[in-house]
Chain A
Amino acid sequence: METWTPNPRAKPFIPRQQRSLYLTWKYKLTNKRTIRRFCQAGAVLFLLITVIVNIKLILDTRRVASEDAAAQEYEDVIPNMETARRPANGRKVLDIEVYSSRSKVYVAVDGTTVLEDDMREQGRGIHVIVLNQATGHVMAKRIFDTYSPHEDEAMILFLNMVTRGRILIFTIKDEGTFHLKDAAKNLLKSLGSQVSLNLSWRDMWTLVVKKGGQVYGEKHSKSPALSTWGDPVLLKTEVQLTASEEAECHWADTELNRRRKLFCSKVEGYGSICSCKDPAPVEFNPDPLPNNNVFNVPVAVIAGNRPNYLYRMLRSLLSAHGVNPQMITVFIDGYYEEPMDVVDLFGLKGVQHTPISIKNARVSQHYKASLTATFNLHPDANYAIVLEEDLDISIDFFSFLSQTIHLLDEDDSLYCISAWNDQGYEHTAEDPALLYRVESMPGLGWVLKKSLYKDELEPKWPTPEKLWDWDMWMRMPEQRKGRECIIPDVSRSYHFGIIGLNMNGYFHEVYFKKHKFNTVPNVQLKNVGSLKKDAYEVEIQNLLKEAEVLDHTKNPCEDSFLPDSEGKIYIMFIKMESETDTSTWTELAKCLHVWDLDVRGYHRGLWRLFRKRNHVLVVAVPISPYSVRKPANVTPIHLEPPPKEEGAPVEQM
């Protein structure tokens, strides 16, 4: 280092300093090598730090990623949608094969058979399959037996409901044109069919189109003669899948819409629930009931594989005032996907049941498992509400039950409370506030007491090998033991099911279509206390006292049998020598167009119903204890079945 002795007299201080800076600079310059070394070391250190930070980052990210993966495992985030998403440029092509012939149809998508029907005597008509245009999943499968009348209308309804852009596959089995009217043919033409207008008797036909888009293929073979079928046709075609974004609607990202999105990506045929612009609601938020005694009563919905019914049913149930969705469990008989999708859409609990036995016994076993499970899931419940998937539920269903449920505890002579009046048709039911006691078990929306089930019914429930109807079994005297059910005059449920184990269109038209269904909210029921055993007798005696005897010389089937009055009480007497002497009641029920397949809806030989807005009491003489009210000069009405063959060949419900 340079030596320098400070001189106190030396004046120019600042330049010295400048010089010193300069010197330092100069010095540093001369030591560039050291500086460079220093900088290099710094840089290396810096790089080292970068490397360390990097490694930590990688470790952290990996941990976060693995946590995310774990979280996904539990969160059940829309699995289908995620897996179905394909790279936009690598769009997939589906190979589709469609076969149409007299005795067999099949549809294969990418080699997987999604429809095959070669059973004899069934599956006649037009088979329709809907595929998701982004994933190729089957969203709906329907058969329209367009050989029979009106089925083409159902097909039009269905096709109109399908979202634009979906892939539709049509194929005819056996015969599908006899009742295929022009409206349907025109719709098919507008979808892109070239031959639909020329489709005729026993033609074979297949078509693959995108709704509102291109035609992927169509094949048709004419039937050469009336007595023969067209040659089988096999259509092979390719369908280009679109990007999933194009197949989806852009609903706001909420929990509800997430459920909706999942649902709509899987199934078709539920109308506006999947509409992009104005979707039907998934949540209904009906009014609560002020004093709801049934808020914590579990609701068991017994279902099979009729997802469209279940959808309609759950919508009405979730719209009823005072409903508590948390208490609802849907029990599905079988491992069907679509009913479960419907349950998930509404955010309800669903339980699947491995079918046991066949036909009626299968239903019966399903009922037993469902009821047991209901009380298992809600061990503190004293009752359960039992519903079926083919019922509409009245808006005041829970209000009706809330007002009556205490009766089950207070009156041992009660078997159930049911929302259904077997005799309550449009023309025979009038007063939504009126309740009856009946000696039968109507079912179709009813309340079961736990003690009745656990102590009496469950231990001796019919075993699988007994092919019994559960409801018929419950109606047997060994089970019912003389107890009665409370029912409303105007039913709180409506049976809309047309297809079912014991159901067909004709049967439904005759016995269920005209059933009265309450649509008035918050009905205040009259005199609920008077439904108890003894009080009800007093009530009946008052009615009998007040009632005017009708003219028994007239024909009870004629409208003129009743005077043109309103709001009066009338009484009539019919002949019934014993429990089994049902001919007069059956004939009367037939001409009144009420339930006539067996004797239902009576209380000690007394039926109560409305005619021409008057309350009519029908007393069976002599078996009813109320027969004493019959004036001596009145001869009970006696009707014999007409000598012709028995009525409609339908099964009993």
Chain B
Amino acid sequence: MLRVNRTAVLALLIVSSSVFLLFQLHYYRKYVSKHPGSHILRPAGHLTPGHLTASQVQWQVVKKFLALVQHFKLPLFLTDTAVLALLSQDALRQRDRLVREPHCSFLCTGRAVTSFALQANQWKYDPGFLLAAEQKGFEVMELRGVDPRLASLDTLSGEDIPLHFLFRLHSHVIQVVFLYERSGNYLWHGALRLKGDADRSFAAFKVLDYGRYAGAYDRPQLILTVLDGLDIRVPRNISRFLAQQKHARFLECRYRDARNFLQLYPDDSSAAAVDFRRKAKALLHLTAQTLARLDVPFWLSSGTCLGWFRQCSIISYSRDVDIGIFIADYRPDIIAAFTDAGLTLKHKFGKVEDSLELSFLIEDVKLDIFFFYDNGDIMWNGGTQAKSGRKFKYIFPRFSLCWAELLELKVRVPCETLDYVTANYGASWNIPLRVWDWKSSPSNVQENGVWPVAEWAELIQVY
């Protein structure tokens, strides 16, 4: 009796669970198999990554993706550092000796990510593209952020703009970075920041080439090329692009703080101040042009750096423009280049080995160039008092350089701007000081002896 019952119960259970399994099979096909992350129960004949190596998967995924891109006419180019590094001149030379897999020599880096950039102003945002990608089996993540081009205007608010697309297929991720045109003739991409509810395991975010910080790039010239049988646009000058990529970090001006500052201390709108700002802007543009031609990197220093950091503009009573250059980048033809550009040399203090400082004049605005010396944990530049020959030393904590925008110009500033400004102006940098003595006011100034009188003629040149 009992046994029969048990059999019956079991039989009933089996029947019901088979029905249930069938239902689940149906459900599974309908909902889950759309998402390629799980490929059990997928129809056969599909690419099954189990049989392929990671690099082959990469090629397959990129191929599929590029077909989609072509269909939607996305102005895309390859920015993947690993692939571009293989493509750059030196690597190509070495490659000749290496025989690799014949079909795939570039797009098989074996990395989990391939990155592309999209020129945002050349593409009208089309939600159909993402839908199509999803239909092709890609999992899509779109990251948006505020439009920095409107952030500089205190009172405007636009819609969030797309910053990054991530596409995942067979656990290979394709990153598409949106490059936006900014005033100052450069391209900008935003930092990749996940919202609270985003899937943090979507990609190995730490290994992405782009998105750790915002970045700034020159507009690259592009060429269409064939890589492993796929048509791809790449930067014409790949090594230059890769060099830029390493130092592309961009700092947005702190517009909100600047606004608060300007509310406390309104900007001088007198004709003289407007005139100075116009001249200073022209001088800054001229400086950038001149030094770009010499390939000498420079950054905003002293008052000009403070102006950018504190009020996103030029301090109208500062009366000069200050820049810094690493002494390693010094070239003797700097002076000639500036005089050719129409500036006059006002003074030259110090020597390449010690406390070099140049000063130029155009109209009535001064350009001060301070050369910075690297001393291990600190960096410093020198100052000289012409009449007494006294030397001064201004000490800064070590810093690296970032891009920033000032007066429609892409310029470098110390990435650790707050430390830099605090070192120079003390903790109260946020309070305007009209009276300033370069020998005593800076909080990082140190007496540094006196130049030997015999060398004055050489080391203290005033014109």
| Chain A positions near chain B (C-beta within 8 angstroms) | 36, 39-40, 43, 46-47, 50, 53-54, 57, 60-61, 63-64, 66-67, 69-71, 73-75, 255, 326, 331, 349-356, 369, 372-373, 375-380, 454-455, 459-460, 463
Q: Is the CB of A373 within 8 A of B128?
A: no
Which B residues between 209 and 241 are near A, CB-CB below 8 angstroms?
none
B21 within 8 A of A: yes
Q: Is the CB of A40 within 8 A of B32?
A: no
Q: A61-B31, A70-B197, A369-B156 are in contact. Are A375 and B14 (CB under 8 A)?
A: no
Q: Is the CB of B199 within 8 A of A376?
A: no
Stretch from B2-10, B355-363, B422-430 that touches the partner: B2-10
Q: Is the CB of B20 within 8 A of A50?
A: yes
Question: What are 25 A-B contacts with C-beta separation under 8 Å?
Answer: A36-B3, A40-B7, A43-B10, A47-B17, A50-B17, A50-B21, A57-B32, A63-B37, A64-B32, A67-B139, A69-B197, A255-B127, A349-B159, A350-B159, A351-B156, A351-B157, A352-B158, A369-B153, A376-B153, A376-B182, A377-B147, A379-B181, A379-B182, A379-B184, A463-B269
Q: A255-B127, A459-B277 are in contact. Are A66 and B155 (CB under 8 A)?
A: no
Chain B 173-202, CB-CB to A under 8 Å as 1, else 0, gives: 000000001111100000000010111000
Contact partner of B199 among A70, A369, A373, CB < 8 A? A70
Q: Is the CB of B17 within 8 A of A46?
A: yes
A57-B24, A352-B157, A460-B274 provided; 13 other pairs, C-beta below 8 A?
A36-B3, A40-B7, A53-B24, A54-B24, A57-B32, A73-B197, A74-B142, A350-B158, A353-B155, A354-B154, A354-B155, A373-B149, A373-B156
Report B107 CB to chain A, min CB distance, Å.
27
B400 within 8 A of A: no
- CA A355 – CA B155 in complex, angstroms? 8
Q: Is the CB of A379 within 8 A of B185?
A: yes
- CA A66 – CA B159 in complex, angstroms? 25
Contact partner of B28 among A40, A57, A331, CB < 8 A? A57
Q: Which residues of B contact A75 (CB under 8 A)?
A: 127, 142
Report B195 CB to chain A, min CB distance, Å.
7
**What DSSP secondary structure best describes chain A's contact surface?**
helix
Report B227 CB to chain A, min CB distance, Å.
29
Contact partner of B149 among A46, A47, A369, A377, CB < 8 A? A377
Q: Which residues of B contact A43 (CB under 8 A)?
A: 10-11, 13-14
Considering the complex, give the chain A residue whose CB is closest to the CB of B128: A255
Which B residues between 41 and 56 are near A, CB-CB below 8 angstroms?
none
- CA A64 – CA B6 in complex, angstroms? 39
Leading 6 A-B pairs by shortest Cβ distance? A354-B155, A379-B183, A376-B149, A351-B158, A50-B17, A43-B10
Q: A74-B142, A351-B150, A377-B150 are in contact. Are A40 and B10 (CB under 8 A)?
A: yes
B121 within 8 A of A: yes
Q: A39-B10, A43-B14 are in contact. Are A376 and B142 (CB under 8 A)?
A: no
Q: Which residues of A contact B152 (CB under 8 A)?
A: 376
Q: Is the CB of B199 within 8 A of A67?
A: yes
B124 within 8 A of A: yes
Report B409 CB to chain A, min CB distance, Å.
11
- CA A66 – CA B152 in complex, angstroms? 36
Considering the complex, give the chain A residue whose CB is closest to the CB of B17: A50
Report B155 CB to chain A, min CB distance, Å.
4
Considering the complex, give the chain A residue whose CB is closest to the CB of B4: A36
A50, A255, A350, A354: which has the most chain B beta carbons within 10 Å? A50
- CA A454 – CA B198 in complex, angstroms? 41
Q: Is the CB of A57 within 8 A of B27?
A: yes
- CA A255 – CA B27 in complex, angstroms? 29
Q: Which residues of B contact A455 (CB under 8 A)?
A: 278
B38 within 8 A of A: yes
Considering the complex, give the chain B residue whose CB is closest to the CB of A65: B31
Q: Which residues of B contact A350 (CB under 8 A)?
A: 158-159
Q: Is the CB of A356 within 8 A of B155?
A: yes
Chain B 125-143, CB-CB to A under 8 Å as 1, else 0, gives: 0011000000000011111
Contact partner of A373 among B14, B31, B38, B150, CB < 8 A? B150
Q: Is the CB of A64 within 8 A of B31?
A: yes
Q: Which residues of B contact A355 (CB under 8 A)?
A: 155
B residues contacting the other copy or chain, number (CB 8 A): 53
Q: Is the CB of A376 within 8 A of B7?
A: no
Q: Which residues of B contact A50 (CB under 8 A)?
A: 17, 20-21
Q: Which residues of A contact B181 (CB under 8 A)?
A: 378-380
B35 within 8 A of A: yes
Q: Is the CB of B21 within 8 A of A53?
A: yes
Q: Which residues of B contact A454 (CB under 8 A)?
A: 408
- CA A350 – CA B161 in complex, angstroms? 12
Q: Which residues of B contact A63 (CB under 8 A)?
A: 37
- CA A54 – CA B23 in complex, angstroms? 11
- CA A57 – CA B25 in complex, angstroms? 10
B398 within 8 A of A: no
Q: Which residues of A contact B139 (CB under 8 A)?
A: 67
B64 within 8 A of A: no
Contact partner of A353 among B20, B156, B182, CB < 8 A? B156
- CA A27 – CA B127 in complex, angstroms? 70
Report B199 CB to chain A, min CB distance, Å.
6
Q: Is the CB of A61 within 8 A of B32?
A: yes
B393 within 8 A of A: no
- CA A454 – CA B277 in complex, angstroms? 12
Q: Which residues of A contact B346 (CB under 8 A)?
A: none
- CA A350 – CA B124 in complex, angstroms? 15
Q: Which residues of A contact B14 (CB under 8 A)?
A: 43, 46-47
Q: Which residues of A contact B278 (CB under 8 A)?
A: 455, 459
B347 within 8 A of A: no
Report B407 CB to chain A, min CB distance, Å.
10
B144 within 8 A of A: yes
Q: Which residues of A contact B184 (CB under 8 A)?
A: 379
- CA A373 – CA B140 in complex, angstroms? 31
- CA A454 – CA B6 in complex, angstroms? 90
Chain B 221-265, CB-CB to A under 8 Å as 1, else 0, gives: 000000000000000000000000000000000000000000000
Report B268 CB to chain A, min CB distance, Å.
12
- CA A118 – CA B10 in complex, angstroms? 78
- CA A176 – CA B142 in complex, angstroms? 54
Considering the complex, give the chain A residue whose CB is closest to the CB of B38: A60
Q: Is the CB of A378 within 8 A of B158?
A: no
Which B residues between 341 and 371 are near A, CB-CB below 8 angstroms?
none
Report B403 CB to chain A, min CB distance, Å.
15
Report A367 CB to chain B, min CB distance, Å.
12
Contact partner of A372 among B28, B144, B153, CB < 8 A? B153
- CA A47 – CA B16 in complex, angstroms? 10
Considering the complex, give the chain A residue whose CB is closest to the CB of B184: A379
Report B13 CB to chain A, min CB distance, Å.
6
Report B383 CB to chain A, min CB distance, Å.
33
Q: Which residues of A contact B277 (CB under 8 A)?
A: 459
Considering the complex, give the chain B residue whose CB is closest to the CB of A343: B159
Q: A326-B124, A369-B156, A379-B182 are in contact. Are A70 and B31 (CB under 8 A)?
A: no
- CA A46 – CA B147 in complex, angstroms? 57
Q: Which residues of B contact A352 (CB under 8 A)?
A: 156-158
- CA A379 – CA B179 in complex, angstroms? 13
Q: Which residues of B contact A255 (CB under 8 A)?
A: 127-128
Q: Which residues of B contact A377 (CB under 8 A)?
A: 147, 149-150
Q: Is the CB of B10 within 8 A of A66?
A: no
Report A212 CB to chain B, min CB distance, Å.
36
Q: Which residues of B contact A349 (CB under 8 A)?
A: 158-159
Q: Which residues of B contact A57 (CB under 8 A)?
A: 24, 27-28, 32
Q: Is the CB of B21 within 8 A of A459?
A: no
B141, B153, B154, B269: which has the most chain A beta carbons within 10 Å? B153
Q: Is the CB of A64 within 8 A of B35?
A: yes
Contact partner of A73 among B127, B182, B195, CB < 8 A? B195
Chain B 439-452, CB-CB to A under 8 Å as 1, else 0, gives: 00000000000000
Q: Is the CB of A375 within 8 A of B127?
A: no
Considering the complex, give the chain A residue whose CB is closest to the CB of B37: A63
- CA A354 – CA B156 in complex, angstroms? 6
- CA A260 – CA B11 in complex, angstroms? 56
- CA A63 – CA B6 in complex, angstroms? 38
